[in-house]
Amino acid sequence: MGVVQTDQMVLNIGPQHPSTHGVLRLEVMTDGEIVSQIKPHLGYLHRCFEKHSENVTYEQVIPFTDRCDYLASMNSNFGYVVTMEELMEIKVSDRVEYIRVIMGELNRIASHLLALGVYGLDIGAFTPFLYMLRDRERILDMFEYTCGARLLYNYMWVGGVSHDLPKDFEKICIGFLDYFEPQIEEYNNLLTYNKIFIERTADVGVIPADVAISYGVSGPNLRGSGVNWDVRKDEPYSIYDRFEFDVPIGEGKFGTLGDCFDRYWVRMLEIKESVRILRQALKDLPSGDVHQALPKKIRPPKGSIYRRTESPRGDLGYYIISDGSPIPSRVKMRSPAFTALSCLDEVSKGWMISDVIAILGSLDIVLGEIDR
């Protein structure tokens, strides 16, 4: 018998594909089901955020930051305003800080809920996705109650927030948390502990810690690899140093350290930590004026600053260069999903097509943020 001649096949996943989380195109070299190389092609969603920013004033950049990471707009805003305030040396009132933390953590829960739900969808479980979206909807309702918008808020301003909290917000938020906490257990029972789910995710797509650091992977993906790094804890910004919370890191619960399950599980635990922070913040929420520190005109001194904050996807960095005019000279956004996607090729070599989808889902990328 002669040797059967086989050849590798190029498979195009995307730009229109159900589970690329946006318009991402993956050029996958496959040998049967086994993947040997992945070339991601980006840019289908490029909206020139950085070029735009050089043509609008500092406060007008904020609506554009919303649209980069549209699943965690509050955190995008948060990062930008924290950076700007550090550049301009503005001290905002305690109430503003607390409101920002509350909004940021609520948005983190919302973002993680979507990430986890969509991950279930990638694996094939439809129902948990809708349960999680159902609860995310309540968070969006609270945002709408506060600032009128459900997805793209433009809520945090340099030196303050656009609106004070509405009537009874604390009560509503506590009510939501009381409702929400038992739901986490239901998600776990329905999806996390499901044996099929564990089989699909455990041991799959292992990112070792050194590879993760070298690829600049950050946030829950990095913590899933067992690296204890959380900007909120290690480089505290805003008032995160006042709260008590743990940084969950992956421990290889059902398989190897740094596999898809660990990344999933870290997100699930982070939701619980966010609930903890929220409860503390709501308890201590001081009163005050939220517009007190708003500068009349945003005209930062000449200089540059790089500041990173913890968005639900990881280290969200802003590099802002000011030349003294009211229009920024350069705004660079270091997006966490961009770095997370870059390691896809290395991680998914040798896995099957189904696993590539699982790995891609576990990295929790948002194409709006990658392409900016």
Partner 1 sequence: MNIEEIKSAITNKFSGSVIENDELSKNQIEIKGSKWLEVATFMRDNPDLSFDQLECITGVDMGEESNLQSRYNLHSMEYRHKVEIVINHDRKKPEISSVEQVWRIGDWFERETYDMFGISYKGHRDLRRILCPDDWEGWPLRKDYEGQESYHGIVVPKIKEEEEWE
Partner 2 sequence: MTVDFLIDWFSTIGNFPILAFILAVVISGIPLFLFMALNAMVAVYAERKVSAFMMDRIGPMGQGPGLHAGKWGLLQTVADAIKLLVKEDTIPQTSDKLLFKMAPFIIFIGAFLGLAAVPFNSSLQVVDFNVGVFYIIAVGSIGVIGIVMAGWSSNNKWSLYGAMRSAAQIISYEIPAGLSIIIPIMMAGTMNLQTMIQFQSGSIWGILPNWIIFNNPFTFLAFFIFFISAVAETNRTPFDIPEAESELVAGWMTEYSGFRWAVFFLSEYANMFVVSGLAVAGFLGGWQSPIPGMFDSAGWGLFWFMVKVIFLIFLMMWFRWTFPRLRVDQLMHVCWKVFIPIAMFNIFGVGIWKLIIG
Partner 3 sequence: MYKYFTNIYETVNTLWTGMRITFRHMIHIKRDNVTLQYPEERWPRPERNIGFDHKDYNVIRSRLHVDIDDCIGCLKCERVCPVDCITINTIKTPTRGEDISEVNHTGETSNGTKKAMVVSRFTIDMSECCYCNLCVYPCPEECIFMVGGPNSSKHPIDYEFSQFDRKDLIYQFAKKLTPDQKKKLESPKPEVEA
Q: What is the DSSP letter of 192?
A: I
Q: Return the closest-CA partner of residue 346 out of 226, 155, 238, 214.
A: 214
Q: How far is the CB of 35 from partner 2 (least distance, A)?
A: 12
Helix (H) or strand (E) segment spanning residue 25: strand 25-31
Q: How far is the CB of 351 from partner 2 (least distance, A)?
A: 10
| Residue with Cβ nearer partner 2 (131 or 169) | 131
CB atoms near residue 166 (< 10 Å): 11
Burial class of residue 1, CB neighbours in 10 A (0-12, 13-18, 19+): exposed
Chain positions contacting partner 1, by CB under 8 A: 42-43, 46, 48, 50-51, 54, 210-211, 213-216, 227, 229, 234, 303-306, 308, 315, 317, 319, 321, 323, 329-330, 332, 334, 338-339, 342-343, 346, 371-372
Q: What is the DSSP letter of 351?
A: S
**By CB under 8 A, residue 194 contacts partner 3:** yes
9 binds, among partner 2, partner 3, partner 1, none (CB under 5 to 8 A by kind): partner 2
Question: What residues contact 19, with CB distance under 8 A and at least 6 apart?
Answer: 121, 122, 357, 360, 361
123 binds, among partner 3, partner 2, partner 1, none (CB under 5 to 8 A by kind): partner 2
| Residue with Cβ nearer partner 1 (9 or 48) | 48
Tell me whether strands 330-334 and 314-322 are parallel, antiparallel or unpaired.
Answer: antiparallel
Q: Which amino acid is at 31?
A: D
b or e along 53-92 (b: 16 or more beta carbons within 10 Å of the residue's beta carbon)?
Answer: beebebbbbbebbbbbbbbbbbbbbbbbbbbbbbbbebeb
CA separation for the pair 333, 156 (Å, rounded): 17
Site for partner 3 in 123-182 (CB under 8 A): 127, 134, 137-138, 141-142, 144-149, 152, 154, 162-164, 166-168, 172, 175-176
Q: How far is the CB of 127 from partner 3 (least distance, A)?
A: 6
Question: Which range of residues in 1-9, 62-70, 202-210, 236-244 is near partner 3 by CB under 8 A?
Answer: 62-70
Instruction: Tell me the HSE value of 82 on the side-chain side, using a 13 A CA sphere.
Output: 27
189 binds, among partner 1, partner 3, partner 2, none (CB under 5 to 8 A by kind): partner 3
Instruction: Give the residues lining the site for partner 3 (CB under 8 A).
Output: 56, 59-64, 66-67, 127, 134, 137-138, 141-142, 144-149, 152, 154, 162-164, 166-168, 172, 175-176, 186, 189-191, 193-196
